[in-house]
Amino acid sequence: MTPRRFLPSISSLLALEAVDRLGSATAAAKELSLTHSAVSRQLKVLEGQLGVQLISRDGIRLRPTPAAREYCQSVRSCLQDLSRSSLKLKANPAGGSLNLAILPTFGMHWLAPRLRDFTERCPDITVNLSTRLAPFDFAQESFDAALHFGDRDWQGVTYLPVSREHVVPVCAPSLIDSPPTAPGELLQLPLLHLESRPRAWEDWFESYDHVAEGLHGMLFDQYSTMAQAAVHEMGVALLPSYLAQEEIEKGRLVKAFGEPVPAKGKYYLVWPTARPKRPSFEKFSSWIETVLELSD
C-alpha cells in the first residue's frame, strides 16, 4: 500500500493537470471555478508534499517544469480512470460491471443480438463495450476480456472458441456485366482489403487452388466501411457471409464469385490468464459457454 504522504489531494492534482493542459493558471482557474491565487496555493501545497519544484514562476505567470509535464501524463491517466469508474458506479449503483473489448462488426452481428439475454439473466451487471481492432496489453487496459479473431497468437490469455467465419467476395451489381467463370477473373477488378486481415484475398484464392500473391488495393480498418465502398462501386470486398447477406438482400451488393468459404482463423473470447476472474466475468463466460452449447 502506497504511504498516504505520497497521495496528493484531488484538488491539487486537478490544478496541476489544468495548468499543464490549458497553458496558464488563469485558464485553469476559470475551468475549475477558482481564483488565480487559489490555483497557485494548490500547486504550492503539492510541491511541498512531493518535495519537488513543479512550477516555474514568472510574476503571476505559472509554467509547469519539464518534470511536472511528465508527471502530468500519469496524473491525467489516473484522473480519467477515476472519472470512468465514477461514471460506472453512477450507471450501476448496485455494483457489478463487465468491460469488454469487441471487434465492431462481429460484436454488432453476433454478440449484440444475444446480449439482451445476458442482461435479463444478470440485471445487476452493467456491460461496457469498447472497440479494439488488435490485441493489446491487458495489464495496461481495464478490460475483463476481448473478442479476438485469428490464431492463438495473443500472449498471456486464455482462449474460448466462439465462432468460425465464412467469407464471400461481393461487389456492386453494376461493377460486373456477367458473373466471372473463374476466380482469377476477379484480379481484373480492384480488390478492397481489411488492414487486420492482410492475407485474406491470398487465402481466398488459395481455397480455389489459384495462386495470387502480393495483392494491393484500398485499405479499410473496418468491414462496415469496406462494405460501403463496395456498394459505391469502388471494388470487390471480401466480407463475412452474415454481413454480405444483408447487403445482398437489400440489392446493394451481389456475389462476385462462388459461395462463402471458411476464413483462416476463428473468433475467440480471450481474457488474461494471470488475472483472477471477477465475479461478473465468471457469470458472463459461463453464459457464453451456454450460448455456444445451445447453438451447437
Q: Break the chain into its structural domains and give their ranges.
A: 4-91, 97-164+266-295, 166-262
Nearest to 291 by CA among 200, 162, 190: 162
Q: Which three cell numbers stand for residue 245?
A: 447477406
- pLDDT at res. 158: 96
Average pLDDT, the chain: 90
Q: Is 233 helix (H, G, I), strand (E, B) or coil?
A: coil
Identify the three-state secondary structure at position 269.
strand
Counting residues of the chain whose pLDDT is more than 90, the rounded percentage is 60
Give the whole-angstrom CA distance, residue 186 versus residue 212.
11
Give whichever of 17-21, 27-31, 77-81, 166-170 has the largest mean pLDDT: 166-170
- Tens-place pLDDT, residues 166-201: 999 999 999 988 888 999 999 999 999 999 999 999
Give residues with Cβ within 8 angstroms of 95, minimum separation 6.
Answer: 124
**Distance between CA 159 and CA 240 in Å, rounded?**
22
Are residues 129 and 102 in contact, defined by beta-carbon separation less than 8 angstroms?
Answer: yes
Fold for domain 166-262? D-Maltodextrin-Binding Protein; domain 2 (3.40.190)
Is CATH 3.40.50.12780 correct for 4-91?
no
Q: Give the pLDDT of residue 63.
A: 86
Hey, which residues does 67 pair with through a beta bridge?
none
Q: What is the pLDDT of residue 225?
A: 95
Structure confidence at residue 56 as a pLDDT band (50, 70, 90): confident
pLDDT of residue 190: 95
pLDDT at residue 54 is higher than 60? yes
Q: Report pLDDT for 152.
A: 93
pLDDT of residue 295: 79
What is the C-alpha separation between 256 and 169, in angstroms, rounded? 5
C-alpha cell recorded at residue 11: 484538488
* Class of the CATH-defined domain 97-164+266-295: alpha beta
What pLDDT band is residue 89 in, cutting at 50, 70 and 90?
Answer: low
Question: Does 4-91 match 166-262 in CATH topology?
Answer: no
